[in-house]
C-alpha cells in the first residue's frame, strides 16, 4: 500500500468534522454534499473486499427512493448479494475514521479479514441519475485507483442491473453475459417465450403505463423497448426529462399516499405500475369505474407469483418445497390467504431485504417481497437443475411444457435482488398466461385496512423487539399495553419497532375497518409516547 498516495488522495476527499454515519441495509445514505469522503473510502473498501474474496465486487451510487438532493452508496458481494454483515462494520469504521487513522484502520481490516494485499482487485461501478452521482462515482474511482484496483464503470444503470452484472462476472457467464445487452437479451428472450404461450397472444396488444419516478428506470426501459415482443406496449411517464426524481411520484410515494403519481392520467381499469428511483421496487395500481384507486402492493405481487408457481410445480409433479417470506408489515389478509387457501408455508422475518433473502435461500423455491414492492424469487441449485432437466427430457407432454414455463420463469427472474423491470415482466407474463385482468388479480383477497405512524423519541434504542419485530421486549409495560389495545378491535394487530435511521418509533396497525385501524394506531402511538420517551407534543388523532 502506497501510504503517500493514500495520504495525498485522502486529503482531496476530506471528512466533514463531527459527521458520523452508519452502514445499514441501504448502505450509507444522507445529503449528497456530505458523501465525498465516504465514496472515496468505499472505493478503498471495495478493493479490500475484492482481494479478500478473490472476486469482482460492485459499488452502486444511489439513494433509491430518497429526495433528489440525497445520495448514497452500497456495496455488492460476488453473487450479486448485499455486502456481508461483518463487512458492514468495516464500512462504518472506515467512513467515520479521522484522516490520520485511515492507514491504521485499513491495516486492521486486512488483518481481521485475512486480506491478501498482493491479490488483484476488480470493482464494477454503477450510478443513478441524480445530479450528484457522476461526481461521487469519480470519488469512488479515486479510492479504487489508490489501492491499485481495476474497475469497470458501467455509468447509468439500475441497482438490480449492477447486482446482475456482478453475478454474471463471478459465475464466468453462467448466470448470463456481464453486459447490459446480455441483461436485455436474457430477460426479453424468456419473456417472449412466455408471452407466445398465452391464450390471447395473437389478437390483442397488452398496454401498460409505467411511472418511472423521474429516475433511471425510464432510461433503461427505453433502451430495452426494442427487445420486447410486439404484443406488449409500454408507455413511460415521469421519465426524468421535466421533473425532479421521486417528487410526488414513484413506488414509495404511491404506496405511502395510496394515490396515483403526478403526471400519469389513468383511465378506468387500466393497468399501471410505479418503479422507485433506482429501479428495485415496483407496485401496481388501477382506478375502477367509480374512480376509486386500488393499490396492488408487494404482498399481492408475492401472492400472484405464488399461485402461478404452485400450479406449475403441481403439474411438474416434483416434491419441491416452496415457501413465502414476509415481514411484520405484510397485510394480515395476504398471510391468511397464502397459509389457509393456497396452503403455502409463510415465514416472518425482521424488516430489511437481507433478512428476507437469507430466509428464502432455505427452500427449493423461496418467494419474498416486502409490502413496499421490493422482492424476488430464489430457486435452489438443485431445483433449477431438476427443472431444466425435465424441460429437456421429460416424456410426458404436460409435465414437459410446465417445466419449460418454469425454466423461462427462472431466466426471467433476477435472483440476485428485487428488480422492478424483471418483476414487471414476471407479472405481465403471469397475467397473460392466466388470462387475468388487473381487477381479477386484485380480488384474490381484500386487504385489511392498515395505518403506519411514527412517534419521535429521545432515543430509539429504548425499544427492543423479538419475534421478527412483532413484539416489544423493552420498555417494560409497552407490549402488555399494546396487547390490551389490540383486544378492543376485531381482526386487529399492531406492533412497534425502532427506525433504522432516525430517532423515531414506527407503528403499524390493522383492523376490520379504517376507523378502528386509525383509532388503534393512535392509541398505540400514545402508549409509545408515554412509555418510550416521546419528544414534542403528544400525538394527535
Each residue's pLDDT tens digit, 111-165: 999 999 889 999 999 999 999 999 999 999 999 999 999 999 999 999 999 999 9
Instruction: Give the pairing of strands 232-237 and 322-327.
Output: unpaired
Residues of the chain below pLDDT 70: 200-203, 501
Is 422 assigned a catalytic role?
no
What is the domain-level CATH number for residue 70? Answer: 3.40.120.10
Q: What are phi and psi of 38, to 5 degrees?
A: -65, -45
CB 102 within 8 A of CB 6: yes
Q: pLDDT value at position 499?
A: 87
Q: Was 67 annotated as part of a binding site? A: no
How far is residue 29's CA from residue 27's CA, in Å, rounded to a whole number? 7
Task: Record the pTM.
Answer: 0.94
110 and 43 in a common domain: yes
Q: Was 281 annotated as part of a binding site? A: no
pLDDT in tens, 312-321: 999 998 789 9
258 and 192 in a common domain: yes
Which DSSP letter does residue 538 get?
Answer: P
Q: pLDDT value at position 26?
A: 86
CB 250 within 8 A of CB 65: yes
How far is residue 53's CA from residue 65's CA, in Å, rounded to a whole number? 31
Q: Was 280 annotated as part of a binding site? A: yes
Q: pLDDT value at position 247?
A: 96
How far is residue 307's CA from residue 330's CA, in Å, rounded to a whole number? 17
User: Which of 443, 466, 500 is at the close of a domain?
Assistant: 443
How far is residue 137's CA from residue 133's CA, in Å, rounded to a whole number? 6
419 and 490 in a common domain: no
Q: Was 372 annotated as part of a binding site? A: yes
> Cell numbers of 301, please?
405481487
Angle, helices 159-170/180-196, rounded to nearest 10 degrees: 100
Of the chain, the end-to-end C-alpha distance in Å amounts to: 59
Question: Residues with Cβ < 8 Å from 397, sequence gap 6 or more?
Answer: none
Which of 10, 50, 64, 137 is catalytic? The answer is: 64
222 and 111 in a common domain: no
275 and 184 in a common domain: yes
How far is residue 385's CA from residue 510's CA, in Å, rounded to a whole number? 42
CA distances from 322 to 46, 271, 305, 325 (A): 35, 29, 12, 10
524 and 414 in a common domain: no
How far is residue 339's CA from residue 261's CA, in Å, rounded to a whole number? 33
Q: Was 198 annotated as part of a binding site? A: no
- The tally of domains found in the chain comes to 3
134 and 32 in a common domain: yes
> Cell numbers of 502, please?
432516525
Q: pLDDT value at position 200?
A: 67
CB 541 within 8 A of CB 494: no
Tell me the residue range of the domain where 482 lies: 450-532
Q: Was 222 annotated as part of a binding site? A: no
Sequential DSSP letters for 118-136:
TS--EEEEEE-S-TTHHHH
Q: Was 200 annotated as part of a binding site? A: no
> Cell numbers of 433, please?
398466461
197 and 145 in a common domain: no
503 and 455 in a common domain: yes
- Residue 72 belongs to some domain of the structure: yes
How far is residue 358's CA from residue 352's CA, in Å, rounded to a whole number? 10
How far is residue 23's CA from residue 352's CA, in Å, rounded to a whole number? 13
Strand ranges for 212-341 from DSSP E? 232-237, 272-275, 282-287, 293-296, 322-327
Q: pLDDT value at position 197?
A: 87
Q: pLDDT value at position 129?
A: 97
Amino acid at each position: 500500500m502506497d501510504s503517500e498516495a493514500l495520504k495525498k488522495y485522502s486529503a482531496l476527499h476530506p471528512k466533514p468534522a463531527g459527521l458520523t454515519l452508519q452502514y445499514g441495509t441501504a448502505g450509507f445514505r444522507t445529503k449528497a454534499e456530505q458523501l465525498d469522503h465516504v465514496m472515496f473510502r468505499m472505493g478503498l473498501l471495495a478493493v479490500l473486499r475484492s482481494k479478500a474474496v478473490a472476486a469482482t465486487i460492485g459499488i452502486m451510487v444511489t439513494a433509491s427512493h430518497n429526495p433528489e438532493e440525497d445520495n448514497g452508496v452500497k456495496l455488492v458481494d460476488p453473487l450479486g448479494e448485499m455486502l456481508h454483515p461483518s463487512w458492514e462494520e468495516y464500512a462504518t469504521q472506515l467512513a467515520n475514521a479521522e484522516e490520520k487513522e485511515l492507514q491504521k484502520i485499513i491495516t486492521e481490516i486486512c488483518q481481521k479479514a485475512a486480506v491478501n494485499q498482493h491479490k488483484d482487485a476488480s470493482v464494477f461501478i454503477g450510478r443513478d441519475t441524480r445530479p450528484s452521482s457522476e461526481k461521487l462515482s469519480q470519488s469512488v474511482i479515486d479510492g479504487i485507483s489508490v489501492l491499485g484496483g481495476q474497475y469497470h464503470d458501467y455509468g447509468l444503470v439500475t441497482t438490480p442491473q449492477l447486482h446482475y452484472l456482478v453475478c454474471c462476472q463471478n459465475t464466468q457467464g453462467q448466470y448470463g453475459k456481464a453486459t447490459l445487452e446480455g441483461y436485455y437479451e436474457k430477460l426479453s428472450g424468456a419473456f417472449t417465450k412466455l408471452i407466445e404461450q398465452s391464450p390471447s397472444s395473437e389478437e390483442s396488444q397488452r398496454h401498460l403505463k409505467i411511472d418511472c419516478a423521474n429516475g433511471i428506470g425510464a432510461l433503461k426501459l427505453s433502451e430495452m423497448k426494442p427487445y420486447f415482443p410486439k404484443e406488449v406496449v409500454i408507455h413511460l411517464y415521469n421519465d426524468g426529462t421535466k421533473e425532479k426524481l421521486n417528487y410526488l411520484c414513484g413506488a414509495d410515494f404511491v404506496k405511502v399516499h395510496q394515490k396515483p403519481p403526478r403526471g400519469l392520467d389513468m383511465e378506468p381499469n387500466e393497468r399501471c405500475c410505479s418503479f422507485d428511483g433506482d429501479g428495485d421496487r415496483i407496485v401496481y395500481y388501477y382506478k375502477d369505474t367509480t374512480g376509486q384507486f386500488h393499490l396492488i402492493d408487494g404482498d399481492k405481487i408475492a401472492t400472484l407469483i405464488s399461485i402461478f408457481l404452485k400450479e406449475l410445480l403441481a403439474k411438474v409433479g416434483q416434491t419441491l418445497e416452496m415457501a413465502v417470506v414476509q415481514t411484520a408489515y405484510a397485510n394480515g389478509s395476504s398471510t391468511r390467504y397464502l397459509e389457509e387457501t393456497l396452503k403455502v408455508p409463510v415465514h416472518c422475518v425482521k424488516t430489511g431485504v437481507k433478512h428476507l433473502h437469507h430466509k428464502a435461500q432455505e427452500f427449493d423455491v423461496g418467494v419474498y417481497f416486502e409490502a413496499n414492492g421490493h422482492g424476488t424469487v430464489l430457486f435452489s441449485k438443485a431445483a433449477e437443475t431438476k427443472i431444466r432437466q425435465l424441460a429437456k427430457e421429460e416424456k410426458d407432454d404436460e409435465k414437459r411444457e410446465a417445466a419449460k414455463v418454469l425454466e423461462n420463469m427462472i431466466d426471467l427472474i433476477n435472483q440476485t435482488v428485487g428488480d422492478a423491470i424483471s418483476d414487471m415482466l414476471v407479472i405481465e407474463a403471469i397475467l397473460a398466461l392466466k388470462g387475468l385482468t388487473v381487477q381479477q388479480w386484485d380480488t384474490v383477497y381484500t386487504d385489511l385496512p392498515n395505518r403506519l405512524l411514527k412517534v419521535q423519541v429521545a432515543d430509539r434504542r429504548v425499544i427492543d423487539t423479538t419475534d421478527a419485530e412483532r413484539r416489544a421486549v423493552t420498555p417494560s409495560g409497552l407490549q402488555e399495553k399494546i396487547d390490551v389495545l389490540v383486544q378492543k378491535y376485531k381482526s386487529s394487530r399492531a406492533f412497534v419497532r425502532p427506525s433504522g435511521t432516525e430517532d423515531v418509533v414506527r407503528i403499524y396497525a390493522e383492523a376490520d375497518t379504517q376507523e378502528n385501524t386509525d383509532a388503534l394506531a393512535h392509541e398505540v402511538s400514545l402508549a409509545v409516547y408515554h412509555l418510550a420517551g416521546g419528544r414534542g407534543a403528544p400525538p394527535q388523532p
